[in-house]
Amino acid sequence: MLTRRELFMAPLASALAHAAPRQWRLGINTYCLRFMRWNDRQLFDYCIKEQLDSIFLQDSLDPGVMDPKHWAEVRAWAKDAQLHLETGGSALLPKNPDALPQAKLMLRRHIERAKAMGATMVRTLLASDRYNMPAGPVEKHVETAVTMLKEVRSIVMDAGLKVGIENHKDIQAWRTRQLIEAAGTDFVGSYLDTGNPVFVAEDPLTTVEELGPVALTFHLRDSVIYNHPDGIAVQWVPLGEGTIDFKALVARAAEVMKPNVYIHCKPITARPPVVIPVYDDEFWSKWFPGARSRDLARFESLARRGRPWNKPHLMADLPELREQNMEGLKIQQMTHMKQSLAYCKKDLNLGLRWKG
């Protein structure tokens, strides 16, 4: 016999079990087409051609990138194309503390730019990677970032924006969550990226579970993760070709993320494998003090399932070779973007506009 509570909850449980799956809106992160060297108008045209719902303008190469007249143009393009727009700037922390005033100025400038473009958020991050953080303990860097963010709180809120902190190659998700909450979730949230966690020895599923509840935007990038004699090797690959179970990842994101979060396809390739020295004590004591053993165990489990990515692949890490191979890199980058978008649409069922 059912209890009174079970009788009360049964209709709700039945409704949840038969609820329609989440309908994610889909866009691209334009950094993934940087070899094309397109201006912003060309990037908009590509998104329109692909029948996308959103565009994330990141690291724009447009000659007018910091020109207020151009910002007004972008706002009009987004409105005319009915494309949701997100954008932002670079890292909060300069490597040299003497450059901190300039970093604060650039943060304010990017907030101004995002507002003028009609964006919903402005992206930033702590540092490009752990090697580019200023000297000193990571806790101090987080405190500095929190102070910088609080200084612009009223500007951000008056602009109707939120600041999205990208989880990058610097700190793990639990500490990024601490940074966001210390600054204030009323105006700061997560720019959640699934490619960067592997560089801090973290399973992207852990990242989704930790940062998903405060996510403002969700960017998909695939990786191969596999055991190596010196640790665990990672490499970014086109979506659908890596070790990550994206169907499970997106399903979990649907459970923990707010309904207004857009997904952006963000394949970055042309980079070699990198070995993460997870069995080196200094790796943890210097860069990730306070790291959780359960997170490493999950990452190790992921690596046991992975294999190297052995497909023919042009690399772009050496500038002198990059220019020599640029035409090939353009073809490869566009091929990987098309392949990744097809995977997002057909395999993951993401996006609305392309469905008609």
Structure confidence by residue, pLDDT tens digits, 203-251: 999 999 999 999 999 999 999 999 999 999 999 999 999 999 999 999 9
Any domain includes 4: no
Pairing mode of beta strands 162-166, 231-237: unpaired
Phi, psi dihedrals of residue 78, rounded to the nearest 5°: -65, -40
Any domain includes 175: yes
The number of beta carbons lying within 10 Å of the beta carbon of residue 178 is: 15
Any domain includes 301: no
Closest CA to 205 of 190, 194, 220: 194
Give the CATH number for residue 169: 3.20.20.150
Rounded mean pLDDT, 5-23? 56
220-223's contacts with Cβ under 8 Å and 24+ in sequence apart are 220/194, 220/246, 220/250, 220/263, 220/264, 220/265, 220/266, 220/340, 220/344, 221/193, 221/194, 221/195, 221/196, 221/266, 221/267, 221/268, 222/194, 222/195, 222/246, 222/267, 222/340, 223/195, 223/198
Amino acid identity, residue 41? R
* CA pair distance 109, 114, nearest whole angstrom: 9
Provide the pLDDT for residue 3: 52
Confidence of residue 2 (pLDDT cuts 50, 70, 90): very low
Any domain includes 149: yes
Range of the domain at 92: 23-221+241-269+327-355
Bridge partners (DSSP) listed for residue 2: none
**Which 8-state DSSP code applies to residue 344?**
I
Confidence of residue 12 (pLDDT cuts 50, 70, 90): very low
Provide the pLDDT for residue 323: 87
Q: Could you read off the pLDDT of 17-67 as tens digits, one per residue?
A: 446 789 999 999 999 999 999 999 999 999 999 999 999 999 999 999 999
Instruction: Compute the radius of gyration of the chain from its Cα atoms.
Output: 21
Any domain includes 252: yes
Pairing mode of beta strands 222-228, 231-237: antiparallel
Q: Could you read off the pLDDT of 150-175 as tens digits, one per residue?
A: 999 999 999 999 999 999 999 999 99
Any domain includes 308: no
* CA pair distance 189, 122, nearest whole angstrom: 10
Which secondary-structure segment (H or E) carries 265?
Answer: strand 262-265
**Which 8-state DSSP code applies to residue 20?**
P
Provide the pLDDT for residue 222: 98
Is the pLDDT assigned to residue 14 strictly greater than 80?
Answer: no
For the chain, what is the domain count? 1
Residue whose token pair is 């579970």: 209
250 near 350, Cβ under 8 Å? yes
Any domain includes 339: yes
Any domain includes 306: no
Task: Supply the mean pLDDT for the chain.
Answer: 94
Q: Could you read off the pLDDT of 271-294 as tens digits, one per residue?
A: 999 999 999 999 999 999 999 999
With pLDDT > 70 as the criterion, what percentage of the chain qualifies? 95
Amino acid identity, residue 209? E
